[in-house]
Structure 1
């Protein structure tokens, strides 16, 4: 099952993959592909082994042109047309925070910021403006990133014209060696960097750093978190920036990638012309030793305390190990490891699905040649805090069970099916891969010495050797990860534990004394929901030719919108709407909507538990999610033409026979306290937790439930809340993608078309369509978070209006865009108050008259009054008409480019079309969107500012540290 419908090991997605990436390392079936998810790429030119494929038996993707200039710069160019007439540029440097000296800690990342602050040919502050005029938005299209091992610069060009490509190459060339690094500009940027450090200083980041130090004590790697340390950020002189820049921004350390709708010959000539005169230092500075592993370390237990951290357990097996060459045999061994790790993770998922386990989430990982000095196998679990010993015991015992007795054939068959489907889908969808994904695969492949090949070649290798992926081979590969080394066990928790390391060691050792037995081979189970009765009859069919739509109504009332596209090969996106979502009746004060959204899928089906569905649907491209929207219940998923019938059968099964099993509620009750704990650990988290309700005068359909609210809801309440809509409400299905119209209609006819007749209409629940914006604040509402004492946030909300008038909503969107430009230039660039000023606008299409425009700024507590004053000054400037033509251009052009790109996005079309039977005006909004934004005038923006940025209507919220932390 390539897209899990209710994966129990991470069912709520509450601890993100990004948060775990550093703790786990790569270990999925994607390790068997040709590098787009691994890392490296390559053809020999002037020097030997310029790229990994020069010496590997793995073939490189022939559509990528590789080369190297005489100065050492490597480059890769690939023609691709998704999205059409666009291109992406990436420039990566094989150096990161590990390359810093002690008095440079944080300067690799700081330099990344300075790339936007003046160079020989682009004055300070002009680069972002220049790109905005072309339609690149600061952040999504113009960005950079730094970690321990590399720095990456990214430009997403909204058109692939020679003019814009030349501009993009010029900017990258400026970054490579022409930065001014003006001392005054550095000083102005210091507070921005400190603000970013403040914003990113989360419990998970502190845990990641503590875990790195435990794994690799005293290593340079553990000491080089990319954000650096405040003392260096505040005081490092210009000379230390220049030292890093001149020694590590060098052509032989750089890789330049262009992917998009470009001519290879012309682009290659432009790269050579722009970068050919770039010179590196006479003597290259070598990389430092990132760390080393003590092979005789022995068993060790570690402990990390933070009052706001999740309870996270890791078991590691660490041994010395450098990165190995990327070969076909190495990929095969990776595949064997990935299969074994996936089976262990699947077993843990089953335990979690029971609803009685102390584990909330579990992941298994493997990293070979980590930082080029360590190879590590990892098992990570997230636990209920007061049951961490039980959780550690489950982890240790399941790991030991797998090592002692291995895996069953049916378990292996399930994971091989998933791997085969993943590789087949990748091959089938290769022609419409996204520019950014391809560029990322190429440069990371170069960085980590692997070959960027084709999905078709990966599938071919899999098919050629799948018979060698036996239970015995997988067992051996799995066991080898953990053999010949003592484990390292680390506990992170919000509990203060006396003699914690000893307690962890004891819990682990006690678990090793528990006997384990082999897992029984359960065999396969067939999906029980394939017959829904006589296929339905169409009573109405119409074509909407200008939008490329086919619209169908079945005799039972099911309504369908189909849009075939060629934007994504072999991918179909499906959305299903029914009922009125949050508008549906519920008991006063009941949070049944939030609970239902969280437990519906994890409660399984009448004839299959959520865990069993994983086995039943193994190797099939079906899945999706369920949610309670403001005015509808929604199911959504992504599938393939081959599996469309099964996807619809799965949705129809949940409509007709939901399981309402208790384990779904049990899992949610276990994870909810940890979600609350995490949200209270930072200003932005507390914003999500509490402010949505404040903005609706206490309406608890919004915000996250309190413990008391959650405890008051039963699974029977959820069932009563949803059952009527499941059984009788009109159904609207929207489908976008690689669709055969007749096949799609037949699939719907045999599933949803075969259901009993739905009600002809459904109540609008007008009595539930009232939401009230709060009264203006004379003094800000103050909320207290439990994070660091220097983290705060100010928020201003202006009431606006609803979404009834599309043009009015678009004017408000443009108003927000202009305000965003002014906020960034004032609060970040000029005054250094913040790393980022956030903003959004919301005009409700459910609640008449309701909407707001929001500005939120991450700050130090002592700057709250000054930032509120600055926001008000900017709003007053806009009310007074201080908006120039350049700001209008820089606000409008990125929006227009986003709209043009969205026209080739199946996901966007799905959003545009879903619900269009209930609201036919959505179709006209699609038709008018580009011309409407083009028509908005400066005068309209000024008038909107006068109407909506009213200082007497503001609702302000200040989020400050808990008084105990001050």
Structure 2
């Protein structure tokens, strides 16, 4: 038997090794073809999710192809594809899709980068008319945008607002560093957002020329994955796209690259709004292809290297006194045919040299001594475990995942052989990868040529920044240190110091209609089980009991709100947090205790195979938490350092102001400060943590996913049934924190860019009911549609206005609505007036029936998706139980949405959105 297995394995190895230089074949489950005009298509049937289809139109067209007069027009063209095509003039395309339940921006979207432009369209697949029109939309996008001059002029303002949103310290410094990093190649002068001069002044003929030259079938592909008939759709695609025409005089689609010059470069830039000092060392290399089996093996070696190096930096960051705020190194993609070894440090104030040397030392240690066999074994185990978990889910893979694979295959020739083939490659190659091979990676990547050193810092630190010679002396100093090989700190102890005694299930109730089993354990713990078939290898869970930080005084609040994170940072049972990560090698698991304002509990996930370990962790975090004085001091010092320049960042200052005003300046909601950090007492935090989890009788656990009740019940009895119980149930306290009434205006003047942020907040008491919640959900969707139509499309004043409505039952029945947008400072008042006008119309006239229909279509689509999703069910069940609402409410949706009418929404708006309590908050540039 062993001989036969070995023979089969040897033959397998022989076949694959002989094929190492051959291109890996495309996933056989996808049907692909190329039309005579060069147009490519990929079609795959996939029923996850059922009755849905995802379509992508990929174009090998990006900003790198623009002439000087066209800078920004690849991206502008993407915008114009939504502003009028042959079969969907003006804004009819977005309007039609919203009626079909597709949200603009969230579902319907597109993106433009240096080398590509991609349009995405998810649709219902069970409506032949919508599916037919979806293909027509793709056909229109491919070559039939209208590009009307007046629509172009309207879109200029929108694109300028998108450009404005990206402005700030990071963008200003990028403009200085980007050319150097990209070796002054064409990429350096072709940022997709373009230039203001071009965007505001180009003639329509210029963008039409770009469209005609580059939107052509030999550079395009349609990718369709979903619950569809492949043969039928293939016939439709051939009919629809065969008549696409390439230009008579085709321009050559040049493949641009970033050249390797052999130079070493240095740049230091400062900005008054930069909150921290960052140093990067980027060592550039020609990127490896990922086309053949040999390429795939090389990528696995790099992946193992990155994983092990990441673990070392993680361990370094968890020292009692970490030498930096953030630090690490890894092999990363760049662009233009390059990748790089990227070393990055976010330094503590005044400790740039210390932080940089610590990070460089870790890379140098790996270069000199390599990794240990135990590190490699763990990395391999993680790879194989992840692959095993993915393979078990292969029949439940989301369509979006397949689309992205085929997208990379078309755009970048990245191999997409399918998960079955990948699994074979992983299981063939991973065991045979040697420590010597992985250790060679750092020697290959850490070179002293093609190296860029970048420093980005606050302007006030400009005089103290090192020059190139100084940074090189730091590198040389570390390189000359007598370093020792890394010692892998592992433990052979069991996870827990003690064993749970175990309990018993004393009651079991079944709700056949909802498919929920409710168990009561002898210690009072309740457990809800909902078995699903949405995934084959996933269980998600949560737990809660009432109380939270609300039970503690303001003076103890900082200790209470940080109690869970400080305890987790120390580890659990016999293990520090670093040792725990190693102990959990190869397990697909996540468990995190939390203490919120009104509840405490757990969030977690695991595969069925690893669920017992997850329950051990839950038991351990309750019965064997750890406290670590050194880790605590390190976290406090790190947090304080991170706050040093917070006041220089306009967005942080505005965010803190918003929180303060909306909480009526309650100390629990205002921004972080050194004084607040000093209030954290480790002993007090640890005692609060233990107190919050000392009585499990109030805990309710919810498990959703691929559950085997017969296997799970004994585990629940063993680990949850043994949790300590006192039979005392706390109730959360009403702290009286809510948005203040009346009309309030607050303006923050911060920042140098001509950009503004606006928050308009409406709030007040609310009559909480499921029916009213649905009506407020309707207004959230409808008002966002109106803000898009008016502030963006009609007035060209914003890029992406947002409307968010929240309702609460506890501690008080209240609501709040926030309308937010970014814009030019000169347009703030007019846009606020327009937004207020829309809110006023809501109460006076109610919505249009058309917009109600859009909400219902989108709501129905979201509901259908949520009913087939484990995490959505977990969120729903958890929320219903915390709010003391019936679990059967999920069945009331049709009745509730049936009561969403023009009249009923008009009444709701008149009652709640009347402007009696209205707060306007604005961030404006410094005067």
TM-score by length of 2: 0.93
**Aligned equivalent of 1:33:** none
1:162 equivalent among 120, 128, 133: 128
Cα 1:644–1:531, aligned 2, differ >3 Å: closer, same or farther?
farther
**Aligned equivalent of 1:482:** 446
Structure 1 residue 204: Cα displacement: 3.8
- Is 1:241 the counterpart of 2:207? The answer is yes
**Aligned equivalent of 1:753:** 721
Cα distance in 2, alignment partners of residues 761 and 802 from structure 1: 31
Residues 193-235 of structure 1, C-alpha deviations (whole Å, 9 max, x = no match): 1111111224444455544323223111122221112121111
Q: CA contact under 8 A between 1:247 and 1:284: conserved in structure 2?
A: yes
1:744 equivalent among 712, 718, 737: 712
- Is 1:557 the counterpart of 2:538? The answer is no
Matches within 5 A, 1:25-104: 56-104=22-70
Aligned to 2:513, the other structure's residue is in SS state helix
Structure 1 residue 553: Cα displacement: 0.8
- Is 1:926 the counterpart of 2:887? The answer is no
2:583 equivalent among 616, 620, 625: 616
Cα distance in 1, alignment partners of residues 176 and 621 from structure 2: 43
Residues 215-258 of structure 1, C-alpha deviations (whole Å, 9 max, x = no match): 22311112222111212111121122112211121111112111
Cα distance in 2, alignment partners of residues 402 and 944 from structure 1: 64
Aligned to 2:860, the other structure's residue is in SS state helix
Cα 1:626–1:858, aligned 2, differ >3 Å: closer, same or farther?
farther
Q: CA contact under 8 A between 2:324 and 2:346: conserved in structure 1?
A: yes
Matches within 5 A, 1:796-811: 796-802=760-766, 804-811=768-775
1:950 equivalent among 914, 917, 920: 914
**Aligned equivalent of 1:470:** 434
Cα distance in 2, alignment partners of residues 419 and 922 from structure 1: 43
Q: CA contact under 8 A between 2:766 and 2:813: conserved in structure 1?
A: yes
- Further displaced range: 626-635 or 903-912: 626-635
Residues 919-963 of structure 1, C-alpha deviations (whole Å, 9 max, x = no match): 4524132221243123311111101111111123212111222x2
Residues 642-661 of structure 1, C-alpha deviations (whole Å, 9 max, x = no match): 00000111122112222232
Cα distance in 1, alignment partners of residues 249 and 911 from structure 2: 62
In structure 1, the gaps of 5 or more residues are 1-52
**Aligned equivalent of 1:10:** none
- Is 1:430 the counterpart of 2:397? The answer is no
**Aligned equivalent of 2:9:** none
Structure 1 residue 330: Cα displacement: 1.0
**Aligned equivalent of 2:294:** 329
Structure 1 residue 491: Cα displacement: 2.0
Cα 1:55–1:155, aligned 2, differ >3 Å: closer, same or farther?
farther
Residues 567-602 of structure 1, C-alpha deviations (whole Å, 9 max, x = no match): 112011111223422422233483334433543422
Cα distance in 1, alignment partners of residues 767 and 239 from structure 2: 50
RMSD: 2.4
- Is 1:886 the counterpart of 2:854? The answer is no
Structure 1 residue 722: Cα displacement: 2.3
Cα distance in 1, alignment partners of residues 49 and 907 from structure 2: 36
2:512 equivalent among 517, 542, 545: 545
**Aligned equivalent of 1:340:** 305
Structure 1 residue 85: Cα displacement: 0.6
Q: CA contact under 8 A between 1:600 and 1:660: conserved in structure 2?
A: yes
Q: CA contact under 8 A between 2:283 and 2:452: conserved in structure 1?
A: yes
Structure 1 residue 631: Cα displacement: 2.0
**Aligned equivalent of 1:937:** 901
Residues 282-329 of structure 1, C-alpha deviations (whole Å, 9 max, x = no match): 23323446444344314646445453244332222213x265351111
Cα 1:243–1:366, aligned 2, differ >3 Å: closer, same or farther?
farther
Aligned to 2:351, the other structure's residue is in SS state helix
1:569 equivalent among 527, 536, 539: 536
Cα 1:212–1:430, aligned 2, differ >3 Å: closer, same or farther?
farther
**Aligned equivalent of 1:220:** 186
In structure 2, the gaps of 5 or more residues are 1-18
**Aligned equivalent of 2:340:** 376
- Higher RCO structure, 1 or 2 (CA under 8 Å, sep 6+): 1
Cα distance in 2, alignment partners of residues 759 and 905 from structure 1: 36
Aligned to 1:316, the other structure's residue is in SS state strand
Aligned to 1:307, the other structure's residue is in SS state coil
Cα distance in 1, alignment partners of residues 771 and 164 from structure 2: 39
**Aligned equivalent of 1:647:** 614
**Aligned equivalent of 1:138:** 104
Structure 1 residue 618: Cα displacement: 0.9
**Aligned equivalent of 1:699:** 666
Structure 1 residue 605: Cα displacement: 2.0
Cα distance in 2, alignment partners of residues 803 and 217 from structure 1: 61
**Aligned equivalent of 1:35:** none
- Is 1:396 the counterpart of 2:360? The answer is yes
Matches within 5 A, 1:441-840: 441-483=405-447, 485=449, 487-494=451-458, 496-498=461-463, 500-502=466-468, 503-522=470-489, 525-529=492-496, 532-588=499-555, 590-596=557-563, 598-662=565-629, 663-664=631-632, 666-667=634-635, 669-671=637-639, 674=642, 681-683=649-651, 685-686=652-653, 688-729=655-696, 730-756=698-724, 758-766=725-733, 768-777=734-743, 780-785=745-750, 787-802=751-766, 804-840=768-804
Cα distance in 2, alignment partners of residues 393 and 207 from structure 1: 24
Q: CA contact under 8 A between 1:569 and 1:738: conserved in structure 2?
A: yes
Q: CA contact under 8 A between 1:417 and 1:618: conserved in structure 2?
A: yes
**Aligned equivalent of 2:11:** none
Cα distance in 2, alignment partners of residues 478 and 648 from structure 1: 39
TM-score by length of 1: 0.89
Cα 1:548–1:839, aligned 2, differ >3 Å: closer, same or farther?
same
- Is 1:192 the counterpart of 2:158? The answer is yes
**Aligned equivalent of 2:371:** 407
Residues 68-112 of structure 1, C-alpha deviations (whole Å, 9 max, x = no match): 111111111111111111111111111211111122221111111
Structure 1 residue 367: Cα displacement: 4.3
Cα distance in 1, alignment partners of residues 777 and 205 from structure 2: 44
Cα 1:184–1:955, aligned 2, differ >3 Å: closer, same or farther?
same
Q: CA contact under 8 A between 2:310 and 2:330: conserved in structure 1?
A: no
